[in-house]
């Protein structure tokens, strides 16, 4: 689960991470009203207006509706014109940005609608650095990664100058040790009092990542100010969805408007669903089998409309909900149910499919392949239901049949 | 693979909820020696399992079973009383990491964690906890381990297996069943089928299993099933090139998966351009592995791998 930049900063601050002062806004008036308190508290007449969407690259991104307007805008009008001039500029920017579509390297060409802004104090930036905490699967631990190349895409740094990335693994029982944090801060070229501040921030960020169960915590850029402070100028966090149950405050930050409605609906039912561009709906148990089913549909000339894993412990209701979500997609010309029961029982799937078809109707061909635990029982339930279902003997047979029944390739 | 599981396995079950109970019954029907259940607060009680065995009608084997499985408050009690040497964990996600650590602390040699949805940070701590202990963890979020005709730990359907010479290792659950069934249908029995699980942090990886299969005199070929996300398949390819002399076939799921999306398994995500199926397939092929293009060709790929090495 992803959250917005301003939410990430609010979560990081209590851990002792220095962040700029800022206020979130959803209207031009709110954005303008944020200016005076920020200027008074920071003593800096410069403010920054930042679009809040769940995608990076905002600073270089541009709006579809406003040529030349960026996702992040520095407002310097206050330097000569006073707070009123800054407020007027922020109001003007906010009215253009809110409701408009921001396109960045991470949003894809369709872009994302901006519904929130973050108005932040301007910072006197001396250096831009990079910091992230991410799981390293090969060692089974979080690693803290830093680079002197702040503000850049870290994958680009990794490709072009890997020696500029320094990382250490965090012992989960000890946390990031002092000596590790010191070494990272030295690698960032920090010295004196700034080094001490850097060490404290690194330890705080590592602790936040562990305690909040993030699967990515990225501060890019981490800046050193003209006064020698070390501040998280941007923050990006995403969370391990399996751990959200113990962070209700974090779970409450979920912004459903940033997500695909069908995927949101599916997640409410505990289903793992991803919308794709094809026309063959898939209902499968198990992530690996669901991916393999998509691969097989493609192999025989079709295009999958979705990835859908009903999971190991699906109930009839869950299966019925999955079926409804698939049939709601107007592109779907056929549905392939591919089940190899283990923990999931064939009769549960069959009852769910039958119940769903009775409830929502069936306007497209349906091919069912059942194998594994209680498969025979499941087949009997479907046969006896009188529904118009084509059965398949194996995955490839099922894929061929549904692609043919759906009218060939997309 | 007599060392990992087999007739010597004395299994204890952690988590006798609906799924745990159902699959314990199936395991006993398969012939697994289930000796104990750990149910905190219900020590001293027993759970009865009875029915027809999977091998009823086979000469020399029992047609029916009727077993009282004693319950214990702690794993340590269960091990002391029954000599259990393996555990299967069906405990719900918030408590599963603790259950794994309890089993390891009690000296259980093999812990198979079926539970799906354990927080990643919990598994990071478990991995750290297991360092220096003799316990081997398989999973979590895995279908378990089956040695055909001898021992079934987990949730794999028993009937698809047949004894033979192919070792199977997989990150997927249901795709493992698909693979095993195809092998059986192709007349290729298995020494052992192991699902290592779809989570990013797990107890046993491809290399651990490849190494065991390479050293196992009964295993003559290996089928490995991977998927998008991470670099475990690439590491396995490197290990195969350097250390595995037996024929290896593979399948990688997720050729059609879009980048940046988590495909069900917590670990199945293409991020930052790494973890794609294409990279994994080319790494494996460069190591001499026969890679099936569709899951329906996994059985054929094993036959081809054997043919090439002979």
Q: Residue A262: which residues within 8 A CB-CB, separation 6 or more?
A: A273, A275, A325, A328, A329
Is A35 within 8 Å of A89 (Cβ atoms)? Answer: no
CA distance B44 to chain A (A): 28
Q: Could you tell me what percent of chain B has a pLDDT over 70? A: 99
Both structure tokens of A240: 């391990």
d(CA A398, CA A104): 40
| Interface contact A288-B293, CB threshold 8 A | no
Nearest to A292 among B175, B200, B261 (CB): B175
Burial A229-242 (b: 16+ CB within 10 A, else e): bbbbbbbbbebbbb
Both structure tokens of B302: 């094993």
pLDDT of residue A409: 47
CA distance A212 to chain B (A): 10
pLDDT of residue B15: 95
- Window 285-304 of A: residues touching B by CB (8 A cutoff) are 285-292, 294-299, 304
Name the one residue in this structure whose structure tokens are 């329906």: B296
d(CA A93, CA A60): 16
Selecting among A5, A6, A120, A130, the annotated active-site residue is A130
The per-residue pLDDT of chain A, averaged, comes to 93
| Interface contact A342-B157, CB threshold 8 A | yes
> What ranges do the domains of chain A cover?
21-121, 125-251, 260-405
CA distance B265 to chain A (A): 6
Q: Model confidence over B214-264: pLDDT tens digits? A: 999 999 999 999 999 999 999 999 999 999 999 999 999 999 998 888 887
Which fold would CATH assign to domain B162-309?
Answer: Rossmann fold (3.40.50)
Q: Could you tell me what percent of chain A has a pLDDT over 90? A: 74
Taking CB atoms and an 8 Å cutoff, what residues of chain B touch A395? 178, 295-296
Taking CB atoms and an 8 Å cutoff, what residues of chain A touch B228? 291
Nearest to B178 among A242, A289, A298 (CB): A289
Q: Would the pLDDT of A184 be above 90?
A: yes
Q: Model confidence over B255-270: pLDDT tens digits? A: 999 888 888 777 787 7
pLDDT band at residue A65, thresholds of 50, 70 and 90? very high
d(CA A324, CA A301): 25
Both structure tokens of A346: 């064939």
Q: Residue A95: which residues within 8 A CB-CB, separation 6 or more?
A: A28
d(CA A129, CA B138): 40
The residue that leads in pLDDT, B2 or B61, is: B61
CATH match of A125-251 with 3.30.470.20: yes
Q: Which stretch of DSSP H or E encloses residue B35? A: strand B34-38
Nearest to A140 among B201, B228, B257 (CB): B201
Selecting among A5, A87, A149, A218, the annotated active-site residue is A218
d(CA A205, CA A357): 50
State mean pLDDT over B293-297.
89
| Interface contact A140-B143, CB threshold 8 A | no
ipTM of the complex: 0.90
Name the one residue in this structure whose structure tokens are 């209680």: A374
CA distance A21 to chain B (A): 31
The pTM score is 0.92
d(CA B171, CA B28): 25
State mean pLDDT over A204-227.
97
Chain-centre distance for alpha carbon B44:
30
pLDDT of residue B65: 96
Give the chain A residue whose CA is nearest to the CA of B117.
Answer: A242
d(CA B45, CA B37): 10
Same fold: B11-138 with B162-309 = yes
The per-residue pLDDT of chain B, averaged, comes to 94
pLDDT of residue A312: 66
CATH match of A260-405 with 3.40.50.300: no
Both structure tokens of A289: 């089998």
d(CA B158, CA B9): 17
Q: What single DSSP character describes residue B55? A: T
pLDDT band at residue B1, thresholds of 50, 70 and 90? low
CA distance B306 to chain A (A): 24
CA atoms within 13 A on the CB side of B291: 21
Burial B49-72 (b: 16+ CB within 10 A, else e): beeebbbeeeeeeeeebebebbbb
Pick the CATH number of B11-138 from 2.40.160.60, 3.30.360.10, 3.90.1150.10, 3.40.50.720: 3.40.50.720
| A186-190, A364-368, B53-57, B110-114: least confident range | B53-57
Name the one residue in this structure whose structure tokens are 């679009």: A51
- Window 145-184 of A: residues touching B by CB (8 A cutoff) are 155, 171-173
Query: In terms of Cα–Cα distance, which of B83, B81, B80, B76 is closest to B14?
Result: B76
> What ranges do the domains of chain B cover?
11-138, 162-309
Q: What is the DSSP string of A9-73?
A: HHHHGGGT-----EEEESSHHHHHHHHHHHHHHH--S-EEEEE--S-S-TTT-EESSSTT-BSEE
Which fold would CATH assign to domain A21-121?
Answer: Dna Ligase; domain 1 (3.30.1490)
Q: Would the pLDDT of A263 be above 50?
A: yes
Query: In terms of Cα–Cα distance, which of B68, B63, B70 is closest to B29?
Result: B63
Active site residue A218: yes
DSSP reduced 3-state for B277:
helix
Burial of A51 (0-12, 13-18, 19+ CB in 10 A): buried
Q: Model confidence over B38-76: pLDDT tens digits? A: 999 999 999 999 999 998 888 888 899 999 999 999 999
pLDDT band at residue A63, thresholds of 50, 70 and 90? very high
pLDDT band at residue A154, thresholds of 50, 70 and 90? confident
Q: What is the DSSP string of B203-260?
A: SS-HHHHHHHHHH-TT--EEEEEEESSSSHHHHHHHHHHHH--S-EEEEEE-TTPPTT
Is A112 within 8 Å of A54 (Cβ atoms)? Answer: yes
| Interface contact A242-B119, CB threshold 8 A | yes
| Interface contact B116-A312, CB threshold 8 A | yes
């Amino acid at each position: 689960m992803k959250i917005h930049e301003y939410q990430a900063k609010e979560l990081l601050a209590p851990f002792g991470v220095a962040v700029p002062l800022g206020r979130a806004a959803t209207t031009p008036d709110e954005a303008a009203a944020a200016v005076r308190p920020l200027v008074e508290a920071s003593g800096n007449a410069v403010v920054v207006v930042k679009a809040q969407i769940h995608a990076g690259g905002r600073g270089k991104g541009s709006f579809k509706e406003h040529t030349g307007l960026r996702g992040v805008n520095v407002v310097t009008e206050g330097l000569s014109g006073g707070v009123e001039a800054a407020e007027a500029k922020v109001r003007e920017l906010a009215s253009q940005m809110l409701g408009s579509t921001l396109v960045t390297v991470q949003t894809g060409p369709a872009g994302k609608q901006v519904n929130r802004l973050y108005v932040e104090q301007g910072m006197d930036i001396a250096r831009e650095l990079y910091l992230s905490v991410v799981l390293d699967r090969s060692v089974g631990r979080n690693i803290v990664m830093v680079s002197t190349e702040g503000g850049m895409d870290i994958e680009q740094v990794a490709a072009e100058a890997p020696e500029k990335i320094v990382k250490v693994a965090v012992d989960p029982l000890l946390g990031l040790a002092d000596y590790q944090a010191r070494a990272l801060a030295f690698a960032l070229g920090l010295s004196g009092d700034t080094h001490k501040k850097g060490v404290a921030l690194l330890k705080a960020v590592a602790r936040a990542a562990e305690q909040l169960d993030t699967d990515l915590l990225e501060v890019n850029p981490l800046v050193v100010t003209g006064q020698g402070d070390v501040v998280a100028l941007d923050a990006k966090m995403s969370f391990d969805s399996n751990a959200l149950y113990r962070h209700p405050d974090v779970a409450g930050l979920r912004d459903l408007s940033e997500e695909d409605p069908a995927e949101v609906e599916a997640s409410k039912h505990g289903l793992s669903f991803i919308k794709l561009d094809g026309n063959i709906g898939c209902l499968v148990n198990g992530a690996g089998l669901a991916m393999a089913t998509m691969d097989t549909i493609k192999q025989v000339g079709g295009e999958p409309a979705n990835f859908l894993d009903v999971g190991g412990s699906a109930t009839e209701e869950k299966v019925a909900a999955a079926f409804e979500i698939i049939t709601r997609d107007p592109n779907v010309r056929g549905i392939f149910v591919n089940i190899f029961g283990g923990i999931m029982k064939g009769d549960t799937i069959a009852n769910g499919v039958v119940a769903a078809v009775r409830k929502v109707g069936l306007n497209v061909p349906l091919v069912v392949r059942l194998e594994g635990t209680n498969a025979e029982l499941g087949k009997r339930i479907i046969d006896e239901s009188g529904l118009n279902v084509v059965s398949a003997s194996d995955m490839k047979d099922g894929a061929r049949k549904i692609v043919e029944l759906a009218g060939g390739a997309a | 693979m007599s060392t990992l599981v087999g007739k010597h396995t004395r299994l204890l079950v952690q988590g006798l909820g609906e799924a745990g109970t159902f699959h314990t019954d199936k395991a006993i029907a398969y012939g697994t020696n289930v000796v104990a259940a750990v149910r905190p607060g219900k020590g001293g009680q027993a759970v009865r399992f009875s029915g027809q065995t999977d091998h009823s009608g086979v000469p020399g084997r029992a047609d029916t079973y009727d077993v009282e499985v004693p319950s214990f408050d702690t794993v340590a009690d269960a091990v002391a009383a029954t000599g259990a040497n393996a555990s299967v964990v069906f405990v719900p996600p918030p408590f599963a990491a603790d259950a794994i650590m309890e089993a390891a602390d009690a000296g259980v040699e093999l812990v198979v964690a079926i539970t799906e949805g354990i927080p990643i940070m919990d598994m990071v701590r478990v991995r750290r906890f297991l360092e220096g202990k003799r316990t081997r963890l398989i999973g979590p979020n895995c279908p378990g381990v089956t040695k055909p005709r001898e021992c079934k730990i987990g949730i794999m359907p028993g009937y698809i297996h047949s004894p033979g010479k192919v070792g199977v290792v997989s990150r997927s659950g249901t795709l493992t069943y698909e693979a095993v069934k195809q092998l059986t249908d192709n007349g290729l029995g298995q020494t052992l089928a192991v699902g290592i699980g779809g989570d990013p942090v797990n107890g046993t990886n491809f290399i651990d299993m490849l190494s065991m299969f390479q050293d196992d005199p009964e295993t003559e070929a290996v089928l490995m099933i991977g998927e998008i996300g991470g670099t475990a398949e690439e590491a396995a390819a490197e290990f195969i090139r350097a250390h595995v002399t037996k024929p290896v076939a593979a399948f990688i799921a997720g050729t059609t998966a879009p980048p940046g999306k988590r495909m069900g398994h917590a670990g199945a995500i293409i991020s930052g351009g790494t973890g794609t199926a294409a990279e994994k397939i080319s790494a494996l092929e460069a190591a001499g592995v026969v890679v099936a293009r569709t899951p329906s060709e996994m059985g054929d790929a094993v036959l081809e791998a054997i043919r090439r090495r002979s």
